[in-house]
Amino acid sequence: MALFKTRRNHGTRNGSPADVHPVDQVPPPARMLAYGVQHVVAMYAGVVAPPLIIGEAIGLPPTDLTLLIGASLFTAGIATMLQSLGVWRVGARLPFVNGVTFGSVAPILAIVGQQTGQENPLSVIYGSVLIAGVLAFLVAPYFSRLVRFFPPVVNGTVITLIGLSLMPVAVGWIAGQDESAPDYGAPGKILLGASTFALVLLLNRFLKGFLNRIALLIGLVVGSLVAWPAGYVDTSTFASAPLFDLPVPFDLGAPAFSITATLSICIVMLVAMMESTADMIALGEIVDRPADEATIAAGLRADGAGSALAAVFGGFTCSAFAQNVGLVALTRVRSRYVVATGGGVLVLLGLFPMAGAVVSLVPQPVLGGAALVLFGSVAASGIRTLGRADLGDPLNSLLVAGALGIGLVPVVAPGFYESFPSSLRTVLDSGISTGCIAALLLNLLFNAFRRKTADTPENA
């Protein structure tokens, strides 16, 4: 089997509608808005959770915490539009959603803990994110060359791992985040999550046409309406959410610089780039427009530019949202303009926090039930890709087994690397990153050696 796999972009951007690749098709405005809102609902909790955790850890007052969340929504929207629409050589031009990477939370909290006596610890964070974003933009074309090391056996393994790694997130949304809480795993939460899960599956099975494409959104709305009388819908956000707020550059803190903090965030950015690369490859397989080196480089430039811009307006490092990759796989709506519309909705949510409060009404158990379908769809896409690999070959089977085993360690045992240095844990605690690295190295070990042996004359 070939060690490297060349990827080309087969889509066309011009011509009659019949000649346009589904990624480049523009749906009617009403449908495009509905599809875009569906993407926003699927990712909303993931966007607001990091600034909420960081803001509460710093002790921000409610007003500033609202600004921090609004800035994250605003910058996620800009980064998403940049990724999907593209400007010059920036943006993958795929239905690719960007937002605050959760992998940055732990390193940021560690940096904040070291800033004792600082009047505004966010300043050092923004300075570090700004530098990391610029560096990511500059190294993107070099980093993108990794794509040549992704034959189907590596692709399928990484895509499957992305889906499996996200499952604990969905389970946490259903059962609760704090295992010591009295209502953790409450029967009502589990019943709500299971009902939403079943409803989304049934809607996808029996609805046709446009309604089938927004089955997830329908499931979330119905699940939220059912949860409301049971007391699972939290409306307290409306009390503190202003109607309108315009993000102002450096309003939450002018950038300050620290070598140790910058190195830490650069490592976070490196991990985010690895995960974005894996997600772009997965998305390319799903939409039938394989992500080549140029696409990966453009997408990583958008990650870097989005992160640097986020630092200006009060956000954090930007990266891919794998749950939205699952939504593309589930709905089969491949238009990048749908995701760009979702990015526009995110910008509006950042400008109008009251509108964001409406989206936040979806209870986490309902979101978790729907997310199980989304994340399972990603894993299924990976299994489909593995079907094109020669798994009858014992070494390929061993590659998949080893990479999945290593990648799932931090997923099934989050504290496994607790005793390792924090700089290493930034990488090790990401199952997607460790599994991806393992798959790449095992492919080099197994298939490069076989290729070298096959190329050597018998009598040499």
Task: Determine the Cα–Cα distance for residues 365 and 189; give it in Å rounded to an integer.
Answer: 6
Q: What angle do CA 290, 33, 223 make, to 5 degrees?
A: 100
In this prediction, residue 37 carries a pLDDT of 94
Mark residue 231 as left, alpha or beta (left: phi above 0; alpha: psi -120 to 50; beta: remaining). left
Q: What is the mean pLDDT of the chain?
A: 86
Q: How confident is the model at residue 11 (pLDDT cuts 50, 70, 90)?
A: very low
Please, is 459 exposed, middle or buried when counting C-beta atoms within 10 Å of its C-beta (0-12, 13-18, 19+)? exposed
Other CB atoms within a 10 A radius of the CB of residue 145 amount to: 11
Model-level pTM greater than 0.85?
A: no
Evaluate whether 317 touches 133 at the Cβ level (below 8 Å): yes
What phi-psi label fits residue 15: left (phi over 0), alpha (psi between -120 and 50 degrees) or beta? left
Phi-psi region of 93 (alpha: psi -120 to 50; beta: other; left: phi over 0): left
Residue 41: name the closest of 366, 378, 376, 379 by CA. 366
Residue with the bigger pLDDT between 42 and 344: it is 344
Predicted confidence (pLDDT) per residue in 65-104, tens digit? 788 888 999 999 999 999 999 999 999 999 999 988 877 7
**DSSP letter at 401?**
H
Give per-residue pLDDT as tens, 143-164.
Answer: 998 888 888 899 889 889 888 9
Residue 460 reports pLDDT greater than 50: no
C-alpha 427: how far from chain center: 16
Q: Which of 108-122, 345-359, 432-446 has the lowest mean pLDDT?
A: 108-122
Alpha-carbon gap, residue 60 to 58, rounded angstroms: 6
Contact 430, 279 (CB under 8 A): no
pLDDT > 70? residue 455: no
